[in-house]
């Protein structure tokens, strides 16, 4: 395993600044995720750390050693691609062995390590299978075995599960975390899938336009988004515009079109001023659908949609400030509304996060 740092990393493509003065610290043995909208710079950052892009400015450090100008194979990293990049004319064994053969490893050692890697990804006994005889999930396991067999210091994963169906994605993301932790690998993982990141990451970074919007543990980023981009990108949320009308220590009062709300700021370094324009971020699962008005953080409206999904029921409440989404876990019944009946949605102040407008 290896610790990884970037200092002042800049990468340009013509007039486009893909990475803008990025400083990042990844601990040895950490499973670190890079997320963000398309074009935010996450794949460029991954490839710069791996050695496929040479930055225009800044440094990449492995265990404190400057590897900025080293080619990928000398950094002792391994990359898993979205497309798997397997050789269709080779069987499973030959695909996994390819990297070791290129490194001129002895045949007996190749055999031992390839069989070990195939067993590691639960593909034992399938070494002679052709690639086109495998399912998508099996091909993904072969690609993972090929990356692991060279015993990398760091494993890089670029959208590795995007071609799999939902059930296989859940199975493989659990498998990737198990292998990384079992073998003490440092791993950097690029994905668009927030559930993937929330479920297996040690820490994650949200990128926006070549900058870091926020870095932290999954629960920290989900519960305490620093801005609207982070709040909306990680999970689902409701935004309500308002302005500050007062504060009492860590509790703030916000005036909106649909009433006064009490909440807390997501960014501990930001203290909004009185009458400053802000937004409230309230997750759908933090709202309760009520028949009568609550004492705090209550909004009135008519129920315009009810959707039953088994484990959850989703509601859309039309308020004076727009439609608010509510999610109820393990619903005992599904509430149906009409235009004449007024319902109320309420949230605990600790679940109302204030972010800059």
Is 85 a domain residue? yes
Whether 258 and 302 have beta carbons less than 8 Å apart is answered as: no
Q: Is the residue at 229 inside a domain?
A: no
Please name which of 222, 227, 218, 260 lies closest in space to residue 242, comparing C-alpha atoms: 260
Domain boundary among 223, 250, 265: 223
Same domain membership, residue 204 and residue 57? yes
Identify the helix (H) or strand (E) that includes residue 30. Answer: none
Strand 65-66: give its sheet, edge to edge: 16-26, 4-13, 57-62, 65-66
Please report whether residue 230 resides in a domain.
no
Q: What's residue 113's pLDDT?
A: 92
Beta strand spans in the chain (E):
4-13, 16-26, 31-35, 57-62, 65-66, 77-80, 154-158, 186-190, 203-208, 211-216, 238-248, 251-256, 259-265, 277-282, 287-290, 298-308, 312-319, 322-329, 343-347, 352-356
* Whether residue 108 is found in the same domain as residue 256: no
Within a domain: 228: no
User: Is 16 a member of any domain?
Assistant: yes
Statement to judge: residues 138 and 180 lie in one domain: yes
Both 11 and 110 in one domain: the answer is: yes
Are 51 and 20 in the same domain?
A: yes
Range of the domain at 252: 236-356
Residue 30: per-residue pLDDT: 96
Whether residue 258 contacts residue 320, with contact meaning beta carbons closer than 8 Å, is answered with: yes
153 and 34 share one domain: yes
Residue 269 lies in a domain: yes
Distance (Å) of CA 118 to CA 99, 114, 115, 198: 14, 6, 5, 28
Q: At 320, which CATH number?
A: 2.40.50.140
CB contact at 8 A, 242 and 278:
yes
**Looking at the domain assignment, is residue 67 inside a domain?**
yes
| H-type alpha helices, the chain | 42-50, 92-102, 107-120, 136-149, 166-182, 194-200, 218-223, 228-233
Based on the domain organization, do 161 and 259 belong to the same domain?
Answer: no
Q: How many independent structural domains does the chain possess?
A: 2
Residues 341 and 261 in one domain: yes
Mark which of 223, 257, 287 sits at the end of a domain.
Answer: 223
32: closest CA among 160, 218, 171, 170?
218
- The CATH number of the domain holding residue 95 is 3.40.50.300
Residue 173: CB atoms within 10 A of its CB come to 22
Contact 148, 155 (CB under 8 A): yes
What residues of the chain score a pLDDT lower than 50? none
Whether residues 11 and 153 fall in one domain: yes
């Amino acid at each position: 395993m290896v610790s990884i740092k970037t200092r002042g990393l800049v990468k340009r493509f013509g007039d486009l600044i893909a990475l803008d003065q990025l400083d990042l610290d990844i601990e040895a043995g950490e499973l670190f995720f890079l997320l963000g909208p398309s074009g935010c710079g996450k794949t460029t950052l991954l490839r710069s750390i791996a050695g496929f892009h040479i930055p225009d400015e800044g440094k990449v450090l492995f265990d404190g050693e400057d590897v900025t100008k080293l080619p990928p194979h000398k950094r002792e990293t391994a990359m898993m691609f979205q497309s798997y990049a397997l050789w269709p004319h080779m069987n499973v064994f030959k695909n996994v062995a390819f990297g070791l053969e290129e490194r001129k490893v002895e045949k007996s050692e190749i055999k031992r390590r390839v069989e070990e890697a195939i067993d590691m990804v639960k593909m034992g006994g399938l070494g002679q299978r052709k690639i086109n005889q495998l399912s998508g999930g099996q091909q993904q396991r072969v690609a993972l075995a090929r990356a692991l067999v060279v015993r990398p210091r760091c494993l890089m994963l670029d959208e590795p599960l995007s071609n799999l169906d939902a059930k296989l994605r859940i199975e493989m993301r659990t498998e990737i975390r198990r292998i990384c932790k079992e073998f003490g690998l440092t791993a950097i993982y690029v994905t668009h899938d927030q559930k993937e990141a929330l479920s297996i990451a040690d820490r994650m970074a949200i990128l926006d336009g070549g900058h870091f919007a926020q870095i932290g543990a999954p629960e920290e980023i989900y519960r305490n988004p620093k801005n609207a981009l982070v709040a909306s990108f990680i999970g689902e949320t409701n935004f309500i515009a308002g302005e500050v009308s007062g504060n009492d220590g860590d509790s703030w009062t916000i005036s909106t079109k649909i009433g006064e709300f009490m909440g807390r700021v997501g960014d501990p370094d930001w203290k909004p001023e009185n009458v400053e324009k802000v937004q409230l971020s309230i997750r759908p699962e933090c709202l309760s659908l009520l028949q009568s008005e609550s004492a705090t953080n209550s909004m009135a409206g008519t129920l315009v949609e009810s959707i039953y999904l088994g484990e959850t029921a989703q509601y859309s409440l039309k308020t004076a400030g727009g439609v608010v989404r509510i999610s109820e876990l393990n619903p005992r019944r599904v509430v149906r509304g009409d235009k004449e009946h007024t319902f109320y949605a309420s949230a605990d102040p600790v679940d109302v996060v204030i972010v800059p407008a």
